[in-house]
Amino acid sequence: GSANDSLQPYWMPFTANRLFKSKPRMFVAAEGMHYVTDDGRRILDAMAGLWCVNAGHNPPRIVRAIQEQAARLDFVSSFQMGHPLAFQLAERIAELAPAGLDRVFFTNSGSEAVDTALKIARAYHKVRGDANRIKLIGRAKAYHGMGFGGLSVAGIPRHRRDFGPLLGDVDHLPHTHDLTHNAFSRGQPAWGAHLADELEAIVQIHDASTIAAVIVEPVTGSGGVLPPPVGYLERLRELCTRYGILLIFDEVISGFGRLGAPFGSTALGVTPDLITCAKGMTNGAVPMGGVIASSAVYDAFMAAPEAAVELMHGYTYSGHPLACAAGLAAIDTYEQEGLFARGPQISATWEAAVHQLKGAPHVRDIRNIGVLAAIELTPREGAPGARAAEAVEHCFAAGVLVRVAGDNLVLSPPLTISPDQMTQVVETIDAALRTVA
Ligand code: PMP
C-alpha cells in the first residue's frame, strides 16, 4: 500500500528520492523546445531533456533517418562485422574532435563510455609493458555515470555510499569549487594552476609510475555546473604529459555543442588523450555513447606483439545501426542549423539572461558557460536542497522544466533556444524564487 502502487511494476531510477513524493511528470510528445504533458500542457524544456537534446526535440531530419534505417537494417554485430554507417559516423566524429583524436569506440551510454575509457587506459599501459600503471584519479563532485568504474572515480558521496567495495587503486583530486566560489565570478588564474598541482602531490605520494589515468569533466555538470578555473585544465594536461599519465575528459555533457563548440576540449583549448561522449551524440533520440581515442593510444594496441594485451571489450549494441543513423543525422542537424557556429553568440545572450537573476531572492551564486548554467541558492536552515527542489516544482507548474542539483537550479536548454525563451526561463525562475520561503 504505497502511493506508488499505480506505477508498479516499473522500478524507476532514484525512486527513494525523498524530495519528490509526487507522481512523476508524464510526457506524451515533444517538439522543438517543448514537451507536451499527459494533461495537454506545453512545457518549455530548459534542460534539453537531460543535457542531451541539443538541437531541440524531434528534428525532422533525425526522425526520418531513424525511420528509414529501422526499415532497412535492424541489427549487425560489431564483432568482426559491420555496416557502413558505423564507419561514416566514426569519421564524422573524428573530424569534429580535436586534432590527433581520431579513433572512435562505440558504446550505448555515457556510463559504458566511461568504463570503456578506464579499461582502455589500464590496458594501454599494460600493452606497452608498464603493468604497474593501474591507479585511476578522479575528482570530488564529479559524475561519471552509474557503472562500477564510473562510480569509483566519481565524487558524489551518496551515489557511492551503498555499493562498495568499488574499484581499488583510485584516488581523488579535490574539487576546484571551494576556492573558485567567489560569488558571480569564475575565479582567478592562479587558483587554477595551484589546484591542479594537487595532482603533483598525488604523484609524490604514489609515484607516477603507478598512475594510469586522470579523468575529469571539463565542466562539472551534475555536481552543479562548475566551470574550470582559468588554467586548471591546461595545468592538468601539462602534468599528465610530464608523468606519462593519460588524461580523460568526460564529455558526456560538454560534447556535441553544449559549450558552444563541437567538444568541450575544442571550446576550452585543451586536448586530452581520450574523450567520452554520449547524450548529444544522437541528440538524445537513440541511446549511444563512445570513446574517442588519440592515434597514439590506438597505435599502441596495434603495435603490440600477437600474444600481448588486446582490447577484449565491446557490447552487443556497439555501433547499432539505428544509433549510427541517428548520430549521423544529429551531426548533420547541428552543422546545417549552425548550432556549433552559433556557440559564442548564444553563450553571450545566455550569460546576459541568467545574470538577470542576480538580485532575485535566495540567489547566492550564478555560474554559466556555453549553454549551461546553475543558479545556486542559499539553503534553508536544516534542509539542504529543499528550497531549490520547491523552486523547481514552481517552475514546472508555470510551464518551464529545470533541474535541481543540491542547492542549485540547473539549466541546460537546447541550443535552439530563442532570446524570448531565455527571458521566459529567467522570469519563471524569478517568480518561483519570490514564491518559495
Ligand atoms: N558522465 C557524465 C559527465 C554525465 O553527465 C553522465 C550522465 N549524466 C554520464 C557520464 C553517464 O551517462 P549515462 O547516463 O548515459 O550512462
pLDDT tens for each residue of 232-273: 999 999 999 999 999 999 999 999 999 999 999 999 999 999
Among residues 348, 411, 356, which one has the least CA distance to residue 221?
A: 411
Atom 6, ligand 1: which residue's CA is nearest?
145
Ramachandran bin of 25, using left for φ above 0, alpha for ψ from -120 to 50, beta for the remaining angles:
beta
Give the model's confidence band at 24: pLDDT under 50 very low, under 70 low, under 90 confident, else very high.
confident
Higher pLDDT, 373 or 20: 373
Cell of 144: 561519471
Q: What is the ipTM of this complex?
A: 0.99
- Percentage of residues of the chain with pLDDT beyond 90: 84
Per-residue model confidence (pLDDT) at position 85: 98
Whether the full predicted model's pTM is greater than 0.90, yes or no, is yes
CA distance 149 to 124: 16
Q: Ligand 1: which of 156, 252, 259 to mutate, most ligand atoms within 8 Å of CB?
A: 252
Atom of ligand 1 lying closest to residue 110 CA: 12
For residue 216 and ligand 1, the question of a CB distance below 6 A is answered with no
CA distance 150 to 143: 8
Decide if pLDDT at 298 tops 80. Answer: yes
Per-residue model confidence (pLDDT) at position 177: 66
Among residues 60, 32, 49, 104, which one has the least CA distance to residue 332?
A: 60
For residue 24, give the 3-state DSSP assignment.
Answer: coil
For residue 255 and ligand 1, the question of a CB distance below 6 A is answered with no
Per-residue model confidence (pLDDT) at position 21: 58
Per-residue model confidence (pLDDT) at position 22: 63
Sheet holding 135-139, edge to edge: 101-107, 289-294, 274-277, 246-250, 211-216, 135-139, 170-173
CA of 143 to the centre of ligand 1 (A): 7
CA of 144 to the centre of ligand 1 (A): 6
Lowest mean pLDDT among 57-61, 309-313, 364-368: 309-313
Give the model's confidence band at 430: pLDDT under 50 very low, under 70 low, under 90 confident, else very high.
very high
Domains observed in the chain: 5-54+340-435 (3.90.1150.10), 63-336 (3.40.640.10)
Mean pLDDT for the chain? 92
What number is the average pLDDT over the span 173-198? 64
Strand-pair partners of 27: 37
Q: Ligand 1: which of 277, 279, 281 to mutate, most ligand atoms within 8 Å of CB?
A: 279
What number is the average pLDDT over the span 29-34? 98
Burial label for 315, CB within 10 Å (0-12, 13-18, 19+), is middle
